[in-house]
Amino acid sequence: MSAVICGSLAFDTIMTFEGRFSEQILPDQLHILNVSFLVPALRREFGGCAGNVAYSLQQLGGTPLPMATVGADGADYVARLQTLGISTEFVREVGDTYTAQAMIMTDRDNNQITAFHPGAMMQAHISRIEARSDIKLGIISPDGRDAMLQHAEQFKAAGIPFVFDPGQGLPMFDGQELAHFVELASWVTVNDYEARMLSDRTGLSCAEISRRVQGLVVTLGAEGCEVWVDGEKTAVAPVKAEAVIDPTGCGDAFRGALLFGLEQGWSLVRCATLGNRVGAHKIASRGGQNYTLDFDKIQS
């Protein structure tokens, strides 16, 4: 069984600020903000939601099919996916543009400031989703606006159940558009901040959203997550990480586990439990795609 993962492939430039953002940014001076952060540590990683989710799902033994676009500089990323055994059938190159780039700065409290250049991602709608016997599941993660809108309609038309994971792309859509995504989706997953924004824009509470889909998952970082099914909330306990090194990609690792569980026909609570374990494992390594999972160990 394969899962189509719609979203970005991006190069992440990750910087570490050894202080706290809150100590450098003066709230009463935001109208003349001019701040510089010294970042002694810098590295470049393979990232993007589609790449990170695919990596997590592959680590668990699933079969991801990332659907994404890269720019003229994306050959190394495509080669990496192929080396990992991840299909690049739905990865397309767009000339005369860069692969999406994320510049991520993390402070000592694991707060993050991110600048994102979408590049080739804005052409992601050139790929279409079609019904196919081996494709049983999908996810729409942050991507180009047109791609997210069109892929949701295409999943529905093809009869492929999918997870709506708007992430940082959520502000691109108004309440009517977000309500339509919910109508088309089988499941919705957001973090707690995104859940509040989704509710504010659609006028629907978490309980109401969960009645329109098969389930809603709200991640709470170190506090675990909430699973909403038919208006009822279940709290899923967090998993303590062995070390807190880098939060980059934790949400995507969780979503890869969520897809794996859904592929197996698990309950949403069991899927989220695995997601918490995988997220806790990921946070102990740097970057979104540098950890390894032992499925039997991660289940225990």
Q: Which residues are catalytic?
A: 252
Which residue(s) pair with 41 in the sheet? 16
CA angle 13, 76, 45 (to 5 degrees): 20
Radius of gyration of the chain (CA): 18
The secondary structure of 16-63 as a DSSP string is E-SS-HHHH--GGGGGG--------EEEEEEE-HHHHHHHHHHHTT-E
Q: According to the 3-state scheme, what is the secondary structure of 223-260?
A: HCEEEEECCEEEEECCCCCCCCCCCCCHHHHHHHHHHH
Question: Among residues 139, 130, 152, 141, which one has the least CA distance to residue 261?
Answer: 139
Max Cα distance, the chain (Å):
58
Q: What is the DSSP-derived secondary structure letter of residue 173?
A: S
At 12, is the secondary structure helix, strand, or coil?
Answer: strand
Query: What is the C-alpha separation between 287 and 284, in angstroms, rounded?
Result: 10
Asked whether the beta carbons of 279 and 258 are under 8 A apart, the reply is no
Q: What is the DSSP-derived secondary structure letter of residue 79?
A: H
Q: List alpha helices for 115-249, DSSP H.
A: 145-158, 175-184, 192-202, 206-212
Amino acid at 123: Q
Asked whether the beta carbons of 231 and 203 are under 8 A apart, the reply is no
Query: What is the C-alpha separation between 185 and 181, in angstroms, rounded?
Result: 6
